[in-house]
Structure 1
Amino acid sequence: MSASGTRNGWVIWLSLVLGLLLSVSPLPEFMQIGRPLWVALILTYWLLELPHRVGMTTAWVLGLAQDVLFGTLLGQHALILTLVAFLVLSLHQRLRMFPLWQQSMVLMVVLGLAQLVQLWLNALTGSRPPTLAFILPAVVSALLWPWLCGFLRGVHRRLNVN
Structure 2
Amino acid sequence: MVSARPRNGWVVWLTFAVGLLLSISPMPQFMEILRPLWLGLLMTFWTLALPHKVGMTTAWVLGLAEDVLYGTLLGQNALVLSLITFLVLSLQQRLRMFPMWQQCLVMLVIFGLAQLVQLWLSALTGNRQPTLALLFPALMSALLWPWVSYGLRGLRRRLGIN
Partner of 1:58: 58
Question: How many Å apart are 1:2 and its aligned residue?
Answer: 3.7
Partner of 2:136: 136
SS at match of 2:136: helix
Partner of 2:31: 31
Partner of 1:113: 113
The count of residues paired between Structure 1 and Structure 2 equals 162
Partner of 1:18: 18
Partner of 2:76: 76
Amino acid at match of 1:12: V
Structure 2 gap segments, 5+ residues each: none
TM-score (norm 2): 0.97
Question: How many Å apart are 1:28 and its aligned residue?
Answer: 1.1
Structure 1 gap segments, 5+ residues each: none
Find runs of 4+ consecutive structure 1 residues off by over 3 angstroms: none
Question: How many Å apart are 1:131 and its aligned residue?
Answer: 1.5
Partner of 1:92: 92
Q: Which segment is superposed worse, 130-139 or 70-79? A: 130-139
TM-score (norm 1): 0.97
CA distance in structure 1 between the partners assigned to 2:15 and 2:63 by the alignment:
15
Alignment RMSD: 1.0
CA distance in structure 2 between the partners assigned to 1:127 and 1:149 by the alignment:
33
Question: How many Å apart are 1:4 and its aligned residue?
Answer: 2.0
CA distance in structure 2 between the partners assigned to 1:37 and 1:111 by the alignment:
8
Question: How many Å apart are 1:146 and its aligned residue?
Answer: 0.3
Partner of 1:150: 150
CA distance in structure 2 between the partners assigned to 1:29 and 1:75 by the alignment:
26
Question: How many Å apart are 1:12 and its aligned residue?
Answer: 0.5
CA distance in structure 2 between the partners assigned to 1:132 and 1:55 by the alignment:
29
SS at match of 2:128: coil
CA distance in structure 2 between the partners assigned to 1:104 and 1:28 by the alignment:
26
SS at match of 1:34: coil
Amino acid at match of 1:74: L
CA distance in structure 2 between the partners assigned to 1:132 and 1:53 by the alignment:
34
CA distance in structure 2 between the partners assigned to 1:80 and 1:40 by the alignment:
9
